[in-house]
Amino acid sequence: MVEIRPQSTRIVVFLTTAAVVLALHAAGAVDVKINFAKEFDFKGVRTWAWNPQGLGEVKMARTQEDDPEFMRKRAEPVIAEAVAAEMGRRGLHQATAAPDVVAKYYLLLSTTTSAQELGQFLPATTQWGVPPFAPATQSLEIMNQGSLVLDLSAKDKVVWRGVAQSKIQTDADDKRRTALIREAVRDLLKRFPPK
């Protein structure tokens, strides 16, 4: 009979838990990219406000039945709350007049495809002893893709832009979608101000 030591059991439980958490995080991973104006002095930024012409826009390119206005009404309150909370965590205060930076978001929802054909990665030559293949799709992946773009402008010029992208599961409930938006905003604004 094998003797199991309490210390070994704790290590196995810890490693298993860590692997599960990492796998779950990777499944809903948000890819973040930022760009900023290198000549802008971010040290002086203390206040922010939403763009007076509107908080943002929703652009959809999935089906003919897409309703960007309906999606904006669902997503905008979550985005607005998440941005306000994250800006506050960074020591920025929401201003009513003359803010240092003005925020505007763009929510882009689309469908992307990825396909592979039989023989796609083989050279089209018979010298290799491989006969030419008739194109036949072997793998087809269709996914909903979402991008949240957050622009921060000063004097009508974008000085910081963050883009968060993720695959979106169509069968996800509102709770999961809200969590994904909050995660995207958090991951974006972790990188503001730029170092």
pTM of the model: 0.69
From the list 139, 186, 195, 192, the residue with the least C-alpha distance to 30 is: 186
Nearest Cα to 152, choosing from 71, 87, 69?
A: 87
User: What is residue 108's predicted lDDT score, i.e. its pLDDT?
Assistant: 85
pLDDT at position 113: 61
pLDDT tens, position by position, 167-190: 766 666 778 888 888 999 999 999
**51 backbone dihedrals φ, ψ, rounded to 5°:** -60, 130
Residue spans per domain, the chain: 30-114+138-189
30-114+138-189 classified as CATH 3.30.160.670 = yes
List average pLDDT for each run of 10 residues in the chain, which is 195 residues long. 52 39 47 93 94 90 77 91 95 92 90 64 59 61 73 94 82 80 92 87
Report how many helices (DSSP H) and strands (DSSP E) the chain contains, helices first: 3, 7
Q: What was the pLDDT predicted at 105?
A: 95
Contact (Cβ atoms closer than 8 angstroms) between residue 184 and residue 132: no
